[in-house]
Amino acid sequence: MLNILGQIIRWFFIWLCFVFIICLAGAFIGVVSHLLFGLIFIDTPDYKCQAALGFSNGLRYSGVWAGGLSIVLCVTHARKEYLQAQVKS
């Protein structure tokens, strides 16, 4: 019973780390893309406003996909661990 509970907690934290990494990457890509498009398409861009808008949009849109993609990554990781354990035994 304790082993199962430990595995649940372990996979929950792995899932949470994947969600955090995906949201962080989305926020970073949002900031970079908004600043880049601001430089290209706006004559005098307000960099602080563009960066804030990019952070908000990137975090929002990556947050939509983060949960599901993290589940897929966890299942892929668990499958890889399972196959490695089968080869060893």
Q: Percent of the chain having pLDDT more than 90? A: 90
- Please tell me the predicted confidence (pLDDT) of residue 34: 96
Q: CA nearest 82: which of 11, 2, 17?
A: 11
pLDDT in tens, 4-37: 999 999 999 999 999 999 999 999 999 999 999 9
Query: What are the tokens at 43?
Result: 């004559």
- Please tell me the predicted confidence (pLDDT) of residue 65: 96
Section 34-45 average pLDDT: 93
Q: Is the model's pLDDT at 62 over the cut of 90?
A: yes
- Contact predicate 59/35, CB 8 Å: no
- Please tell me the predicted confidence (pLDDT) of residue 2: 84
CA pair distance 39, 55, nearest whole angstrom: 16
Higher pLDDT, 15 or 88: 15
Cα 72 to chain centroid, rounded: 12
SS3 per residue for 35-78: HHHHHHHCCCCCHHHHHHHHHHHHHHHHHHHHHHHHHHHHHHHH
